[in-house]
Amino acid sequence: MTDASIFTEDVAETQIKIVHISGQLDESNVDEKIKEVYHVLESNPKGLNLVCDLEKLEYMNSKSIGYLTDLYGKISDSGGQIAIANAKPNILDILQVVGLTQLIKTFGSIDEAKSSFSAQPATPAPAAQPAAPVAPPQTPQPQPTTVQEPQPASPQASQPAPQEPPKTA
């Protein structure tokens, strides 16, 4: 069994929790270790903002990536956010290859990750009051068109008008 540890830290007077993950998360330990993070999630069901500090994480397998993806979904659904801080290049490469960095923002420090949460509210915003009813857009109705058929030219119209004889003085 490889060594890994996960412990959480509360950021005073905020809905932010920091999860410090170190060692190697693999098949031998990930199921047991990740329970600590799910316990934090269950204790903070709405609007939790979670920073995953991966500074001391040496290795993670696909199952641990799956758990991270699941955490992203659960936290996002509850109105919170998740961020990754201090990931080593090899860990960051893995997360980029599987596309997780498109879902979860990554930062070079815990402070940067924490400050990213201030851009959005930690708790879900209350539902907006319904706006006044708006009439549905009108679909333009086809207008009847009148097609005028060409009329045969009258014989008088096609003849040149008679000219007056020149006046003599």
**In the 3-class helix/strand/coil scheme, how is the chain assigned residue by residue?**
CCCEEEEEEECCCCCEEEEEEEEEECCCCHHHHCHHHHHHHHHCCCCCEEEEEEEEEEEECHHHHHHHHHHHHHHHHCCCEEEEECCCHHHHHHHHHCCHHHCCEEECCHHHHHHHHCCCCCCCCCCCCCCCCCCCCCCCCCCCCCCCCCCCCCHHHHCCCCCCCCCCC
Write down the domain spans for the chain.
4-117
pLDDT digit of tens for each residue in the chain (169 aa)?
789 999 999 998 888 999 999 999 999 999 999 999 999 999 987 999 999 999 999 999 999 999 999 999 999 999 999 999 999 999 999 999 999 999 999 999 999 999 999 765 444 434 434 444 444 445 555 555 555 665 655 555 555 555 666 666 5
Residue 31, token pair as written in the block: 């199921």
Report the CATH number of the 4-117 domain: 3.30.750.24
